[in-house]
Structure 1
């Protein structure tokens, strides 16, 4: 019987397969990105689809990766009953190690469209306050005309209110030291009233309180009010949070980073 010769494994086969696999992955990623771009580009609305509070001349939104890919030229052009969007808060970081997947793109694109922008950090009470500030500072470079940095605190996550307040104060102090501007606190009306209160009244407040028609029910002066999470904006496929500024254009400009 004649023995068959064993075929030698060609060394270049595996690298070639890996290259083909990588090319296929890149092609799929490119196709997905194009689909997301087209979805955002062709998302168009006639109106914001929510009632807007009366008596507030300056309106804006806040976004994160939950809003998916955003086509910012459409956001800039959006108008309903002569109301345009003057500002946007953009999620930047969370905790001590997470960065929003869409932050860098949203941050640059908002600037390119001349929309006043602000960045926020999602504060987690179980994490060290100084490290959370470091995470935000490392990823966010503020410029003249930007909104002050925001620390978003919404939950205790099982820690005591006292510990949460200690860590939040540390975080706020570090952020203020880095940017030389007093940070804004974002919080729900009930959470602020119950857990923060007078100890943080020296900071500007962005308060979330839905289903109110005139103003949020919070026991202090506030600068921004997030009044809905169900707005519609051209260029954004997902529902959007809507906000108003509590003041006129002069007060708004005074709040911005010098």
Structure 2
């Protein structure tokens, strides 16, 4: 027999090819139909303007909280109005005259910060015996159209006849049910005596009360009230000017209804600073004060 052929070293070291098996393709994972609504809802929330509005509102509230650290929570700065506002009072308003120029009442009514908005306005009508405010008719017509409750006021001149001033005022002001009571603004003696001032003022308010069926409101400064009016007109509602204070410091039992607490407010739609006022009571008290 011929000798058996021995394998070479190269053949011994060469590995045998491994048997391969054909792999089956991996099965595709079936998606859970219930996942689609969940992702859809999340996407809709993230894309919704309401979501971003909520985020912005939260950010704004947090920023305002940081800015208000250290301030009295009942007398803090309202940056839109550019004044501090006593927040214990819930019904706020302004008083205007020719000094504020032409007013965009729609913008006034639309302005709001942290639930503070303009709900009433006292509007100057007349002064003395001859002067009619040039913007009165327009303000008296336009402000109620946007839902602002209005009251008209007369700037009183103590040297002039009080009855004639009342007649002049009523000739120019047509008051209706739902209006605030008429206001007499008394701030100075004009060189007359306190006794004569009170005499003419009494004539004025008695005539207004007779013809409107409601006691007029007396507007004055805190010092003028204490010096000349305290104890003489206690049954009449008062509107007191006393600026940049946390509270109106009046004696208990004083019949004040309105407080003019600032003269430097900024209001949308008005190009000049404005007096800012607060009503003492709640919405029911405010409603009961209106003319019938």
Please report how far the alpha carbon of residue 46 of structure 1 lies from its aligned counterpart in structure 2 after TM superposition. 6.6
| Matched residues, number | 214
SS at match of 1:124: coil
SS at match of 1:238: coil
Deviations 1:17-55 (A, max 9, x none): xxxxxxxxxxxxxxxxxxxxxxxxxxxx97100010121
Which residue of 217, 221, 241 maps to 2:255?
A: 221
Task: Name the CA distance, whole Å, in 2 between partners of 1:208 and 1:244.
Answer: 11
Task: Name the CA distance, whole Å, in 1 between partners of 2:242 and 2:168.
Answer: 28
Please provide the CA RMSD for this pair: 1.3
Task: Name the CA distance, whole Å, in 1 between partners of 2:139 and 2:79.
Answer: 23
Please report how far the alpha carbon of residue 237 of structure 1 lies from its aligned counterpart in structure 2 after TM superposition. 0.1
**Residue 52, structure 1, aligned to residue 115, structure 2:** no
Task: Name the CA distance, whole Å, in 2 between partners of 1:143 and 1:198.
Answer: 31
**Structure 1 unaligned runs (5+)?**
1-44
Q: Give the structure with higher Rg (CA).
A: 2
Which residue of 63, 71, 79 maps to 2:112?
A: 79
**Residue 99, structure 1, aligned to residue 136, structure 2:** no
User: Alpha carbons of 1:242 and 1:159: their partners in 2 closer, same or farther (altered >3 Å)?
Assistant: same
SS at match of 2:86: coil
Tell me what 2:46 maps to: none
**Residue 70, structure 1, aligned to residue 106, structure 2:** no
Query: What are the residue-to-residue correspondences of 1:48-197 with 2, within 5 Å?
Result: 48-197=81-230
User: Alpha carbons of 1:74 and 1:46: their partners in 2 closer, same or farther (altered >3 Å)?
Assistant: farther
Please report how far the alpha carbon of residue 217 of structure 1 lies from its aligned counterpart in structure 2 after TM superposition. 3.7
Tell me what 1:37 maps to: none
Task: Name the CA distance, whole Å, in 1 between partners of 2:122 and 2:250.
Answer: 22
Deviations 1:75-109 (A, max 9, x none): 01011122111100000000011100000000000
TM-score (norm 2): 0.72
SS at match of 1:162: helix
User: Alpha carbons of 1:218 and 1:124: their partners in 2 closer, same or farther (altered >3 Å)?
Assistant: farther
Higher relative contact order (CA 8 A, sep 6+): 1
| Contact 1:90–1:120 (Cα < 8 Å) also in 2 | yes
Task: Name the CA distance, whole Å, in 2 between partners of 1:116 and 1:211.
Answer: 25
Task: Name the CA distance, whole Å, in 2 between partners of 1:196 and 1:82.
Answer: 35
SS at match of 2:214: coil
Which residue of 255, 260, 268 maps to 1:234?
A: 268
Please report how far the alpha carbon of residue 178 of structure 1 lies from its aligned counterpart in structure 2 after TM superposition. 1.1
TM-score (norm 1): 0.81
SS at match of 1:88: strand
Deviations 1:214-247 (A, max 9, x none): 2244572310000000000000000000000000
Task: Name the CA distance, whole Å, in 2 between partners of 1:50 and 1:147.
Answer: 25
User: Alpha carbons of 1:73 and 1:213: their partners in 2 closer, same or farther (altered >3 Å)?
Assistant: same
| Contact 1:216–1:225 (Cα < 8 Å) also in 2 | no
Task: Name the CA distance, whole Å, in 2 between partners of 1:70 and 1:150.
Answer: 21
SS at match of 1:198: coil
**Structure 2 unaligned runs (5+)?**
1-77
Task: Name the CA distance, whole Å, in 2 between partners of 1:218 and 1:129.
Answer: 28
Task: Name the CA distance, whole Å, in 2 between partners of 1:223 and 1:248.
Answer: 11
Tell me what 2:283 maps to: 249
